[in-house]
Chain A
Amino acid sequence: MLWTLVRRSVARHRALVLGLAALLCGFQVLLVIVGTNYQREGLFGQVAALVPAFVQEALGGLMIASFAGTVALGFFHPVVMLALSCGGIYVASEPAGEVEHGLVDLIAARPVPRHLLMTRSLLVYAGITAAIVTLMFAANQTAVRLLAPAGVALLARSRLLWVAANLLAVVWCLGAAALAIAAGARRRAAAAGSMALVAVCLYLLHFAAAAWARLRPAARISPFHYYESSPTLLGLSLPVRNIVVLLIATAVLFVIAQVLYARRDL
């Protein structure tokens, strides 16, 4: 029964998934092409001089001024993070859409436990975003192998995998928050739209906190606070703690979503 629900949900989001995957994978290839051109023309030094320190910090520190950093940018560029987060948020808001369009009457009038609908949505948004991140990684590695200039220093694959896993944990956390909102909402646009807005605000809070120390305590509520790509890419630390914090937050938000959905009128 759960897999029937999952298959239907994936089919409904097929166009969004394909579009987002194509966009983000294309961006990975584009970054490799750009990195290759900069490397060949020796432009990375000029890039480092042009970018202010706090922007560099937000974009991965000095890593962006190298080929390895540029090809990794597709995993921590704000547009990528927010596009992937918004995709996950939209998919996770499906329960509100089912209430809005009355589809829940068909499903929940059958012997389908309510919690399965929430579990379905969790599996679908987590699975879809994981698949997209996997495709991004595959596109990145394929493009590097085919296009990277000979002799250029490359990132260890394991470091990029840790960054991708950390990104995915951020997206899952935001998706779980969207699921909790959708569990009590009657309009999908309201649930997904408000959560997307919150995600942008949380990113801006994290970004501003990098430049303004007084904001740093407040930035702890932002999932982006727990996404530090630079130390991971530089091989200084692994983001295990950050990923654990984000997964715990995801689990808590999922439980809240289940409770809200179990108690609501559909």
Chain B
Amino acid sequence: MSDAIRTESLTKYYGPVVAIESLNLTVNRGEVYGFLGPNGAGKTTTIRILLDLVHATKGRALVDGLDCRRDSVNVRARIGYLPAEMPLYREMSGAGYLDYLAALQREPIDQAWRQRLLSRFDVSDVDLRRRLDDLSHGMKRKFGIIQALMGRAPLLILDEPTSGLDPLMIEAFAETVQELKNEGRTTIFLSSHVLSEVERLCDRVGIIRRGALARQTSIADIRRETPRRVRVFFDGTPPPPPQQLAAALRKSDGRRWDLEWQGPLGDALEALRGLDVADIEIEPFKLDDYVLQVYADHPAAGRG
């Protein structure tokens, strides 16, 4: 079975400016894929090539095995898209906006699903009747999310989906993604700078830097690879570290060890058995550390 998204040596130049260069990425069907990168790294250009809004200079992009350029209309029939900047027909009502965009789909919209989305995102009948221009930024964003999701497309491309949403609505969005993920029929390609959200929702991430894919890996692998900071407190002077912990010891300070432990934490705790440990602090895993490290590997990241 073909990948949900596959790019092969995808390259886009805007005149002399390189937006993306030889980008190769694969997104499996049914997964939630986080597409990360600093501003200007080429995320939006990649998304716009997938949608055939922008034409690649070289290489190609495939969605469900279909070429995004040559089979553009069929590709777009499979995609629900939420742009980062939400374009609106200001004079339209919310309901008119959703109806109009639904009429541009090939398949009729499942009204029960649309209604469920409206209630999940707390959009009332009054909100549906109001002019879009009169709505708050967050409410406009909700309409953006609903229009992307209402077609039940097998591939969702969501660019900064929770930007401007309140915590309750961020939770509603996360629940929706989780529900779609559990159903297993929808692939979600999510670009976001909110790394806690990516960490929570995504199975894998691709990190783009200077228009090229710097890393593509699973969250589980990142968890395994990323050293965890562990602080071990003693009532008195710390003893000499056991052999298993010696390599992880970064600092021994008065009554405390600072460890950077890579691997299963159980092994570290096992090594501490029998020592006069007063307390242990284990910093929770944060995707931020990993991503920032990838960004920092090339400080000049981001161009085009």
Contact = CB atoms under 8 A, between A and B. Distances in A.
Interface of A: 1, 4-5, 8, 11-12, 101-113, 263, 265-266
Nearest to B79: A109
A108 B51 contact: yes
B63 to A, nearest CB: 12
B104 A107 contact: yes
B55 interface: yes
Interface residues of B, number: 24
B83 A106 contact: yes
Contacts of A104: 53
B265 interface: no
27 contacts: A4-B104, A5-B104, A12-B91, A102-B85, A102-B87, A105-B81, A105-B83, A105-B87, A106-B83, A106-B101, A106-B147, A108-B51, A108-B52, A109-B51, A109-B53, A109-B81, A109-B83, A110-B76, A110-B77, A110-B101, A110-B104, A110-B105, A111-B104, A111-B105, A112-B73, A265-B54, A266-B48
Nearest to A11: B91
A111 B77 contact: yes
A4 B103 CA distance: 7
A108 B74 CA distance: 12
B147 to A, nearest CB: 8
A265 B77 contact: no
Contacts of B113: none
Contacts of A113: 73
A263 B79 CA distance: 22
B106 interface: yes
B94 to A, nearest CB: 14
A263 B69 CA distance: 11
> Secondary structure of the A side of the interface?
helix
Given A1-B103, A111-B74, A102 B83 contact: yes
B91 to A, nearest CB: 7
B250 to A, nearest CB: 48
Interface in B71-110: 73-74, 76-77, 79, 81, 83, 85, 87, 89, 91, 100-101, 103-106
Q: Which of A1, A4, A103, A106 has the most CB of B within 10 A?
A: A106
Nearest to A104: B53
A12 B76 CA distance: 25
Contact of A106 (B54, B74, B87): B87
A8 B89 contact: yes
Interface in B33-85: 48, 51-55, 73-74, 76-77, 79, 81, 83, 85
Given A106-B87, A108-B51, A110-B76, 8 more contacts: A4-B100, A12-B91, A107-B104, A108-B52, A109-B53, A111-B73, A111-B76, A266-B54
B78 to A, nearest CB: 9
A59 B17 CA distance: 54
Contacts of B101: 106, 110
